[in-house]
Amino acid sequence: MQPRILLHSSYILSRLSKELTAAMAGLAIIQVIFLSMMAPRMAIRVTLYPQPGYVAYPQPPQTMLTPVLGITSFLYAILTIAIGAQMGLELERGDSALYLSHPISRLSYVASWIIASILIPSLMFFFSLIIPILILEPYLLLGVGGGEITLILLQVSTSGSIVLLTAALFKKRSLALAVGIFEYLIAPILLTLIAAITSSITQTTPSARDMLWMAVLHPYNYYLMFGYSGANWVEAAVVNIPVFSAFVAFLLAYTRRSFEVK
Look at residue 53 and tell me if it is in a domain.
Answer: no
Residue 195 reports pLDDT greater than 90: no
Task: Please name every residue paired with 46 in a beta bridge, in sequence order, or none if there are none.
Answer: 56
Look at residue 104 and tell me if it is in a domain.
Answer: yes
Residue 231 reports pLDDT greater than 90: no
Residue 11's H or E segment, with its range, is helix 3-15
Mean predicted confidence (pLDDT) in 91-106: 69
What pLDDT shows up at residue 57? 41
Domain count, the chain: 1
Residue-wise pLDDT for 116-158, tens only, equals: 899 988 998 888 888 877 777 666 666 566 788 899 999 999 9
Look at residue 186 and tell me if it is in a domain.
Answer: yes
Look at residue 92 and tell me if it is in a domain.
Answer: yes
> Average pLDDT of the chain?
79
More confident call, 186 vs 131: 186
Distance (Å, whole) CA 73 – CA 149 = 9
Distance (Å, whole) CA 153 – CA 196 = 27
Residue 181 reports pLDDT greater than 90: yes
Residue 6's H or E segment, with its range, is helix 3-15
Residue 35's H or E segment, with its range, is helix 17-38
Residue-wise pLDDT for 12-38, tens only, equals: 767 666 666 677 677 777 777 776 666
What pLDDT shows up at residue 60? 38
More confident call, 177 vs 258: 177
Select the highest-mean-pLDDT range: 17-26, 27-36, 70-79, 180-189. 180-189
Look at residue 23 and tell me if it is in a domain.
Answer: yes
In the three-class reduction of DSSP (H, G, I as helix; E, B as strand; rest coil), residue 48 is classed as: strand
Mean predicted confidence (pLDDT) in 35-45: 55
Look at residue 48 and tell me if it is in a domain.
Answer: no
pTM for the structure as a whole: 0.82
Mean predicted confidence (pLDDT) in 40-46: 47
Percent of the chain with pLDDT over 90: 31
Distance (Å, whole) CA 24 – CA 191 = 31
Residue 203 reports pLDDT greater than 60: yes
What pLDDT shows up at residue 128? 81
What confidence tier does 55 reach under pLDDT thresholds 50, 70, 90?
A: very low
Residue 89 reports pLDDT greater than 80: yes
Distance (Å, whole) CA 235 – CA 223 = 10
More confident call, 259 vs 239: 239
Look at residue 158 and tell me if it is in a domain.
Answer: yes
Mean predicted confidence (pLDDT) in 209-223: 91
| In 39-119, alpha helices (H) | 66-93, 95-101, 106-114
What confidence tier does 39 reach under pLDDT thresholds 50, 70, 90?
A: low
Percent of the chain with pLDDT over 70: 71
Look at residue 146 and tell me if it is in a domain.
Answer: yes
Domain ranges, residue 191? 3-39+58-257
| In 102-218, alpha helices (H) | 106-114, 120-136, 146-170, 173-181, 187-202
